[in-house]
């Protein structure tokens, strides 16, 4: 699998926030098998240069870094944050977030498209956090995005896939564009369901970091994502309204009352 010009071996992208401790975060990342981790620029700030310690932990993983513009609400703020992240993390990758509504953290798709165009023209490789809207997807691709990251549900909600029809339609309309379900995943079964729709990967954070055992949960998600992907490429059977016996009835002996 390839994102822009870089190959990746895992379809599991994992976040680095909310863990009980740096050591548990590192163990969870290792258990996930992920080679892409998302990092917020805000983790690099704070007194006594605590963010530099965090950056050193991330380097220990050996994973590719996907900086994000988490919490940005305007185009200007997102673009500025992206430029700062590129300087700090030395990567053209950026997970672009432009938040438009506080309660659901739904993307501001108008600002998102505008910011994506600005950043793409400036050499960034943009991973936009978006909705499953087909028109928005078209505009993001036209703006230079080669990867789309539609939400499954509101960030941190754990609700899974709220709009399976919309996600399936997005996959069907853009068969060659890498698609990653981002946000709202709460259970490994949710991740498997996304992969069974033909998605290329899943990005999550809260479901692992806030679990009772983050390391074990990371391993569970890794297995579910791989299982869902294998299920999709194995070409599952179609749903039926009526039963279809797995054992053929033709040729079976028939015993009537006279031979009982």
Q: What is the pLDDT of residues 96-145, one digit of tens each?
A: 999 999 889 999 999 999 999 999 999 999 999 999 999 999 999 999 99
The secondary structure of 43-74 as a DSSP string is: GG-SGGGHHHHHHHHHHHHTPEEEEE-TT--S
pLDDT at 259 exceeding the cut of 60: no
Q: Coil, strand, or helix at residue 126?
A: strand
Mean pLDDT of all residues in the chain?
91
Residue scoring higher pLDDT (12 or 258): 12
User: pLDDT band for position 61 (50/70/90)?
Assistant: confident
pLDDT in the model for residue 51: 53
pLDDT at 45 exceeding the cut of 60: no
Known binding residue 156? Answer is yes
Name the active-site residue from 47, 95, 117, 210. Answer: 95
Known binding residue 91? Answer is no
Q: What is the DSSP letter of 4?
A: T
Asked if 207 contacts 183 with a C-beta cutoff of 8 angstroms, the reply is no
Where on the phi/psi map is residue 247: left (φ > 0), alpha (ψ -120 to 50), or beta? Answer: beta
Known binding residue 184? Answer is yes
pLDDT in the model for residue 56: 80
Known binding residue 205? Answer is yes
Asked if 139 contacts 131 with a C-beta cutoff of 8 angstroms, the reply is no
pLDDT at 47 exceeding the cut of 50: no
Please state, in angstroms and rounded to a whole number, the distance separating the CA atoms of residues 149 and 199: 10
Known binding residue 71? Answer is no
How many CA atoms are closer than 13 Å to the CA of 56, on its beta-carbon side? 5
pLDDT at 186 exceeding the cut of 80: yes
Catalytic, 117? Answer: no
Mean pLDDT of 180-188: 96
pLDDT in tens, 193-250: 999 999 999 999 999 999 999 999 999 999 999 999 999 999 988 888 888 777 766 6
């Amino acid at each position: 699998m390839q994102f822009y010009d870089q190959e990746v071996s895992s379809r599991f992208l994992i976040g680095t926030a909310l863990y009980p401790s740096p050591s548990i975060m590192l163990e969870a990342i290792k258990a996930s098998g992920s080679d892409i981790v998302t990092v917020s620029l805000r983790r690099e700030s704070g007194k006594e240069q605590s963010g530099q310690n965090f950056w050193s932990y991330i380097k220990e993983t050996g994973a590719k870094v996907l900086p994000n513009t988490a919490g940005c609400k305007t185009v200007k703020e997102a673009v500025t944050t992206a430029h700062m992240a590129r300087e700090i993390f030395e990567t053209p990758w950026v997970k672009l977030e432009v938040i438009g509504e506080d309660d659901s953290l739904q993307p501001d798709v108008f600002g998102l498209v505008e910011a994506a165009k600005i950043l793409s023209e400036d050499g960034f490789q943009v991973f936009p956090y978006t909705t499953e809207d087909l028109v928005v997807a078209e505009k993001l691709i036209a703006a230079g995005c080669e990867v789309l990251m539609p939400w499954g549900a509101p960030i941190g909600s754990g609700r899974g896939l709220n709009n399976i029809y919309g996600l399936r339609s997005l996959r069907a309309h853009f068969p060659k564009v890498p698609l990653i379900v981002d946000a709202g995943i709460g259970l490994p079964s949710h991740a498997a369901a996304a992969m069974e729709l033909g998605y290329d990967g899943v990005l999550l954070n809260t479901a692992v970091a806030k679990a009772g055992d983050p390391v074990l949960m990371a391993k569970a998600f890794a297995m579910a994502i791989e299982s869902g992907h294998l299920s999709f490429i194995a070409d599952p059977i179609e749903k039926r309204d009526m039963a279809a016996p797995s054992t053929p009835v033709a040729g079976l002996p028939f015993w009537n009352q006279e031979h009982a």
